[in-house]
Structure 1
């Protein structure tokens, strides 16, 4: 699966990328929602999934998800957060999964991707 990972924290982004690389996925890591929209551009079909951090400057993960939908980009979307994921998931119907960005990510992220 070709996955776009969006995270302004280089360590956290690299961790998500390493987890998914180990599962055999092809990942591209970018540092902001703006970069993600540029990467998606006209060729959003090049990605099977977008995984984004929630708290980023300029464009939060929820803002990125909403902007993607406003632009007609239907790519499945997974949100990672250090906050309680349930209220965030409720704010954005259509998000495939909202996962805690904690030590359990090594198990929960591949499981969420496998469900898609």
Structure 2
């Protein structure tokens, strides 16, 4: 059974990022997009349920993390407009039964990701 999951880590404060809004969109071959799910991270910086599970549709996707709102909520002083506000990560699913974990490590000024396990 395939699965797509994520989590967000706040690298400034050294903790999981709770309350980050996340959108997952499927990027369609005609250039349009289709919203798959909207969710928010829990106290552990993860979503309560996998973003996708079962037989995963092969294709391109984009996760968008509202990291600017997260840091504003914490009271972090940000420039306006914030250097990083919405962080998009584009990736592809090629294995319908694979486990895809796409974490975000973020600060108000930088981010990184990788294919986790």
When you count strand as a share of all residues, which structure comes out higher? 2
Q: Which has the higher helix share?
A: 1
TM-score (norm 2): 0.25
TM-score (ref. length: structure 1): 0.25
Greater Cα radius of gyration, structure 1 or 2: 2
